[in-house]
């Protein structure tokens, strides 16, 4: 890519030399050298006041430490915080580009009320006062009309202000909330927890042997792992990458196996087969801490490396080698949990299998293995919200037989359990909800109509598979309110859009971040707010205060509840400066507030990594038996297969001329939020679909051609990138492109959206989406 | 005090092709967005091998701060010059935008800056270095591909790395004697 740019720079020189030379004598802006050659004046910053303010990045989920360099009140640059224990002194492309965010002409600057049709793009600027009144009135109307507070659904994504969004949710009393989790890592959490009771981190700093399946830590940045796996790689550590794509991470690996998609579980089961057959597992650990090993031993007998070779298309000898090496380095061997696991319908079982491999080799809670996270507890005020009578249970819990559509027989794995799909989602995490189940329920008005939709910094139009259904879902709404920093594709279809303050202009509450090295972060303003924006703390306060003026919104609660609510929540928290809330949060750690102000984070000595707290006799894991459950007893109760039996759809054949669609990230974009930032946009102006050269040849496609990529639910036009980096049976592009909001001026309609073509397929155990269960055809455009 | 000889040593094998360095440099040095405006770049080296045995490296680069700098030689006004530490810089006031240096540079490290109305390029972030801070691209990198330091100090990281490891330089045939070193 850069090579081309270099050529174009040369071209520029040749073509425009005469024209540009004329500029030479126009007055130049701050010069580098005013002084003589002997004493250079290197300064490039304008004269005046320079400040360095510590805070934390919010450009993605990682929350890396930043030191903002502010000159005369204007943010010049975001520097990494060298002392930060999570980001370890780095700041990625997105983190750097955050410095442009407050000044972006495309950001939302004032509340907007729709005046035309939905999606027509006609807006009227209104005041916050009007906005709060309008929203409170709509909430009251919805409650009145449907007599059920859960008729208003609240979507949000993680972030420090999200806890105040829940103030609004709980003050209205809806139980329908949907978070990003089921689009991302729900199955990962469920799978690992089903074995160890918790979701662990990998101790990459001390591991001798690391296997990463489907995780691209070089491009999909997760701190500290993305830093540790190269910068602090211990001498001699081996990295095995198993991925249908030759990712940047694969390019760093000692060995890369281009596995056939959807068969990772088979690879790991065969490793378990070898390790048990050859007696390479950790007998003592297995006996002391695990439940169900004998059953596993019996079950894996058929999963030989030869069997797996046929499934995974990786030579049996390589699987045997990997198994022996993994066992030889145990317990300093990591099978990497990673993060996003929204891949396949049996993903929970894939992740269970990973966890079981770690368990039988004793790579648990020990140096160089997978390690439970610890966290620092804050003194966050516990607030109680009124108990509302007119509140029904979540729709994705009650809706039961709507799921045929989202668990098509083509992906049903019979052995996952006969109880499904009628079981709905067996292990749904309350707040997270399940996006696909939720949307099905809304579309079918079952078990009751959902008619209001709030959306805080989530963008379901781009992030939830099958956009056609998302549009249909939005159409069902009487009222849509979106709170964001930019006009997202979802905001474009809203009735009212509220501009959120950027993370560089406001205060964010203290938030604990768990990990092998836990810490507490917060955010403070590094510059004064530039526009008439508010934080969620202020927005919730504003809406709730207006709600209190409408008696009908409080007619289904005990009067005492209302009184306490007014005192505790409204007077006690929302009507006071957020700084007081932060002070209370960290009040049990002396000096914590100063540390936050000076360094953006703090940690506590006693939370330095200690290994082995769970490897003590009598320790109870958070599982039914209190043991590490190779055989999961609760799964048995739910009618799910309790062992990690290999899951594949019955009689599945990939039709010729179709490709499995894979999606992933680049290091310079976060989901759908950053593509429009000029400094990132110039790195990649549209995405491209990776196609293997053999297949491209058959289709008559060369790099740079535009192609149509078509699935059962949609089609997109996109540029082709013909590359050996991908297996012939799949294609790939990065997410966040092909945008529908014209206000994302640079990326509107450029590239292809993944949500438009990915079919909505549910992982019915965790409620997760399966982003890699779609087959597409490709034709030249 | 011994005179400093500044240099950057790259361990490109670690490079994630994440572009943090390119974005950091733009903010730090007021380099505007634009395909022709950049002080540093990260090249995707050609993919080697055939599926499924593949290899690929990513190679960041920038002005080499040549000890024998062609750009300096051709500059008619003396705008391009080398400091005592060997950092090649441009006095924007003296630049007449004749672009002789751009044509002379074998590394294509220079471009016309709209901000300065002059040719510009990597300065080794001397405004930071003079305050005891690291260059922006060095500091922000997740995996620490670059180390910046003084070749005249035997204990500096750059000196130690060059003593311990084999290295190469770009376009040695041009006899420019770059101050950028790439570890093998
Ligand atoms: S990884 Fe990048 S975008 Fe994410 S928090 Fe860290 S610096 Fe910010
Ligand atoms: S790399 Fe180019 S611009 Fe830099 S010193 Fe060498 S010749 Fe001059
Ligand atoms: S040293 Fe400074 S000017 Fe040079 S490339 Fe790095 S960040 Fe840019
Ligand atoms: S910041 Fe470091 S890892 Fe990222 S592209 Fe630049 S040199 Fe490579």
- What are the sequence ranges of the domains in chain A? 11-100+505-528+576-610, 107-186+373-406+432-500+535-559, 201-371+623-637, 659-780
Note the pLDDT tens digit of each residue in A282-333.
999 999 999 999 999 999 999 999 999 999 999 999 999 999 999 999 999 9
Q: Do A251 and B57 touch (CB under 8 A)?
A: yes
State which fold the A107-186+373-406+432-500+535-559 domain adopts.
Rossmann fold (3.40.50)
Ligand 4, atom 4: nearest CA belongs to which residue? B18
Q: Do A679 and B27 touch (CB under 8 A)?
A: yes
Number of A:B CB contacts under 8 A? 191
Identify the helix (H) or strand (E) that includes residue B158: helix B157-164
The ligand with the least distance to the CA atom of A80 is 1
Q: Is CATH 2.10.69.10 what the domain over A659-780 is classified as, yes or no?
A: no
CATH number of A201-371+623-637: 3.40.228.10
Q: Where are the beta strands (DSSP E) in A313-436?
A: 333-335, 370-371
A146: left (phi over 0), alpha (psi -120 to 50) or beta: alpha
Q: Do A231 and B112 touch (CB under 8 A)?
A: no
The percentage of chain B sitting over the pLDDT mark of 90, rounded to a whole number, equals 96
Distance B150 CA to ligand 2 centre (A): 19
Q: Do B139 and A82 touch (CB under 8 A)?
A: yes
Phi and psi angles of residue A425, each rounded to the nearest 5 degrees, phi first: -95, 120
Give domain status of residue B50, yes or no: yes
pLDDT score of A420: 40
State which fold the A11-100+505-528+576-610 domain adopts.
N-terminal domain of TfIIb (2.20.25)
Give domain status of residue B75, yes or no: no
User: Does B103 contact chain A (CB < 8 Å)?
Assistant: yes
Contact indicator for A174, A416 with CB cutoff of 8 Å: no
A694: Cα separation from own chain's centroid: 33
Give domain status of residue B30, yes or no: yes
Structure tokens at A453: 């939709």
Ligand 1, atom 6: nearest CA belongs to which residue? A64
Give domain status of residue B77, yes or no: no
Give B113's strand partners.
B118
Ligand 2, atom 6: nearest CA belongs to which residue? B66
Q: How many Å apart are CA A361 and CA A272, to the nearest integer?
A: 9
Report chain B residues whose CB lies below 8 A from the CB of A258. Answer: 51-52
Which residue out of B39, B140, B143 has the highest number of ligand 4 atoms within 8 Å of its CB and is therefore the one to mutate?
A: B143
State the residue range of the domain holding B56: 6-67+122-183
Note the pLDDT tens digit of each residue in B118-142.
999 999 999 999 999 999 999 999 9
Task: Please name which of B78, B109, B91 lies closest in space to residue B178, comparing C-alpha atoms.
Answer: B109
pLDDT score of A33: 45
Q: Which residues of chain A have pLDDT under 50?
A: 1-8, 10-37, 415, 417-423
The ligand with the least distance to the CA atom of B62 is 3
User: Does B81 contact chain A (CB < 8 Å)?
Assistant: yes
Ligand 2, atom 8: nearest CA belongs to which residue? B71
Give domain status of residue B157, yes or no: yes
Q: How many Å apart are CA B48 and CA A249, to the nearest integer?
A: 16
User: Does B164 contact chain A (CB < 8 Å)?
Assistant: no
Note the pLDDT tens digit of each residue in A540-597.
999 999 999 999 999 999 999 999 999 999 999 999 999 999 999 999 999 999 999 9
User: Does B45 contact chain A (CB < 8 Å)?
Assistant: no
Give domain status of residue B72, yes or no: no
Structure tokens at A287: 């006996």
Give the count of domains, chain B.
1
Note the pLDDT tens digit of each residue in B54-77.
999 999 999 999 999 999 999 999
Q: Do B27 and A77 touch (CB under 8 A)?
A: yes
In angstroms, what separates the C-alpha of A33 from chain B's closest C-alpha? 6
In angstroms, what separates the C-alpha of A51 from chain B's closest C-alpha? 14
Give domain status of residue B147, yes or no: yes
Report chain B residues whose CB lies below 8 A from the CB of A21. Answer: 96-99
CA-based angle A742:A748:A751, to the nearest 5? 165
Nearest-atom number in ligand 3 for the CA of B121 is 3
Distance A615 CA to ligand 4 centre (A): 39
pLDDT score of A733: 98
Q: How many helices (H) and strands (E) does chain B have?
A: 6, 12
- CB neighbours of A763 closer than 8 A, spacing ≥ 6? A186, A187, A342, A344, A345, A346, A347, A348, A769, A770
Nearest-atom number in ligand 3 for the CA of B146 is 6
Report chain B residues whose CB lies below 8 A from the CB of A257. Answer: 52
Q: Do B92 and A6 touch (CB under 8 A)?
A: no
How many other CB atoms sit within 10 Å of the CB of residue A50? Answer: 12
pLDDT score of A398: 63
Distance B11 CA to ligand 4 centre (A): 10
- The CATH number of whichever domain residue B47 belongs to comes to 3.30.70.20
Nearest-atom number in ligand 3 for the CA of B148 is 1
pLDDT score of A409: 67
A557: Cα separation from own chain's centroid: 36
Q: What is the CB < 6 Å shell around ligand 1?
A: A 57, 59-60, 62-64, 87, 91-92, 94-95, 221, 223
A15: Cα separation from own chain's centroid: 45
């Amino acid at each position: 890519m850069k090579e081309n740019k270099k050529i174009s720079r040369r071209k520029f020189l040749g073509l425009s030399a005469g024209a540009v030379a004329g500029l030479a004598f126009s007055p130049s802006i701050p010069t580098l050298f005013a002084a003589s050659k002997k004493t250079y004046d290197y300064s490039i910053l304008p004269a005046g006041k320079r400040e360095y303010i510590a805070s934390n990045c919010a450009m993605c989920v990682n929350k890396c430490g930043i030191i903002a360099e502010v000159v005369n009140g204007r943010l010049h640059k975001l520097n990494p915080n060298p002392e930060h224990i999570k980001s370890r002194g780095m700041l990625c492309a997105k983190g750097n580009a955050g410095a442009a965010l407050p000044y972006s002409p495309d950001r939302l600057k004032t509340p907007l009320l729709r005046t035309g049709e939905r999606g027509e793009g006609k807006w009227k600027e209104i005041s916050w006062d009007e906005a709060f009144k309008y929203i409170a009135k709509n909430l009251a109307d919805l409650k009145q009309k449907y007599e059920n507070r859960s008729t208003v659904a609240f979507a949000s994504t993680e972030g420090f202000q999200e806890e105040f969004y829940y103030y609004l949710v709980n003050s209205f009393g809806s139980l329908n909330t949907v978070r990003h989790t089921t689009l991302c890592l729900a199955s990962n959490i469920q799978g690992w927890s089903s074995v160890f009771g918790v979701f662990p981190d990998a101790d990459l700093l001390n591991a001798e042997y690391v296997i990463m399946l489907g995780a691209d830590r070089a491009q999909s940045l997760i701190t500290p792992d993305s830093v540790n796996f190269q910068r602090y790689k211990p001498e001699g550590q081996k990295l095995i990458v198993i991925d249908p794509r030759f990712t940047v991470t694969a390019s760093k690996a000692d060995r890369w196996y281009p596995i056939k998609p959807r068969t990772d579980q088979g690879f790991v089961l065969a490793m378990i087969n070898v390790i048990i057959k050859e007696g390479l597992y950790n007998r003592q650990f297995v006996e002391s801490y695990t439940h169900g090993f004998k059953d596993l031993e019996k079950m894996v007998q058929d999963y030989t490396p030869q069997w797996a070779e046929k499934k995974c298309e990786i030579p049996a000898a390589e699987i045997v080698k990997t198994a022996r090496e993994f066992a030889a380095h145990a317990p300093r061997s990591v099978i990497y949990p990673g993060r996003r696991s929204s891949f396949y319908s049996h993903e929970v079982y894939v992740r269970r299998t990973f966890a079981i491999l770690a368990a039988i080799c004793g790579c648990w809670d020990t140096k160089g293995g997978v390690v439970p996270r610890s966290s620092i507890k804050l003194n966050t005020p516990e607030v109680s919200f009124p108990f509302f009578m007119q509140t029904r249970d979540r729709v994705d819990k009650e809706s039961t037989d709507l799921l045929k559509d989202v668990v098509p027989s083509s992906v049903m794995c019979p052995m996952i359990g006969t109880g499904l799909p009628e079981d709905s989602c067996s292990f749904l995490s309350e707040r997270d909800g399940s996006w696909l189940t939720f949307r099905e329920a809304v579309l079918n008005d079952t078990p009751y109509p959902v008619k209001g939709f709030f959306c805080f910094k989530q963008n379901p139009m781009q992030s939830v598979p099958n956009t056609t259904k998302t549009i249909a879902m939005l159409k069902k709404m009487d009222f849509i309110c979106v709170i964001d920093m930019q006009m997202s594709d979802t905001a474009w279809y809203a009735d009212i859009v509220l501009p959120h303050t950027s993370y560089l202009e406001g205060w964010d509450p203290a938030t604990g971040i768990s990990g092998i090295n836990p810490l507490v972060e917060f955010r403070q303003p590094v510059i004064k707010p530039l526009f008439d924006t508010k934080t969620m703390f202020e927005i919730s306060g504003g809406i709730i205060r207006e709600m209190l003026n409408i008696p009908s919104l409080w007619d289904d609660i005990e009067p005492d509840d209302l009184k306490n609510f007014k005192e505790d929540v409204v007077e006690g928290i929302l009507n006071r400066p957020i700084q007081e809330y932060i002070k209370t949060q960290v009040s049990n750690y002396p000096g914590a507030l100063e540390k936050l102000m000076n360094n953006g984070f703090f940690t506590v000595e006693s939370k330095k990594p200690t290994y082995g707290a769970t490897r003590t006799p009598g320790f109870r894991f958070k599982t039914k038996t209190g043991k590490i459950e190779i055989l999961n007893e609760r799964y048995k109760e739910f009618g799910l297969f309790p062992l990690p039996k290999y899951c594949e759809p019955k009689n599945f054949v990939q039709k010729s001329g179709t490709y499995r669609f894979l999606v992933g990230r680049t290091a310079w974009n976060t989901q759908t939020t950053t593509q429009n930032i000029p400094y990132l946009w110039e790195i990649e102006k549209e995405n491209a679909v990776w196609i293997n050269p053999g297949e491209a040849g058959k289709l008559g496609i060369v790099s740079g051609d535009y192609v149509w990529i078509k699935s059962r639910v949609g089609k997109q036009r996109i540029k082709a990138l013909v590359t050996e980096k991908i297996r012939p049976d799949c294609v790939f592009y990065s997410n966040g492109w092909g945008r529908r909001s014209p206000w994302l001026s640079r990326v509107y309609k450029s590239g292809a959206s993944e949500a438009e073509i990915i079919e909505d397929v549910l992982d019915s155990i965790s409620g997760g989406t399966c982003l890699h269960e779609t087959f597409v055809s490709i034709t030249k455009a | 005090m011994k005179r400093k000889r500044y240099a950057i040593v790259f361990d490109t094998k670690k490079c994630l092709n994440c572009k943090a360095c390119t974005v950091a440099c733009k903010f730090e040095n007021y380099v505007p967005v634009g395909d022709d405006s950049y002080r540093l770049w990260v090249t995707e080296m050609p993919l080697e091998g055939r599926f499924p045995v593949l290899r690929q490296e990513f190679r960041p680069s920038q002005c080499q701060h040549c000890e024998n700098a062609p750009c300096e030689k051709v500059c008619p006004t003396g705008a391009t010059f080398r400091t005592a530490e060997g950092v090649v810089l441009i006095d924007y006031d003296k630049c007449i935008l004749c672009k002789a240096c751009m044509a002379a540079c074998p590394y294509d490290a220079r471009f016309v800056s709209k901000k300065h109305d002059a040719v510009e390029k990597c300065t080794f972030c001397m405004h930071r270095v003079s305050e005891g801070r690291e260059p922006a691209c060095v500091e922000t990198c997740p995996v620490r591909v670059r180390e910046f330091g003084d070749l005249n100090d035997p204990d500096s990281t750059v000196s130690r790395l060059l003593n311990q490891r084999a290295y190469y330089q770009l376009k040695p045939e041009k006899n420019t004697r770059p101050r950028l070193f790439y570890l093998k």
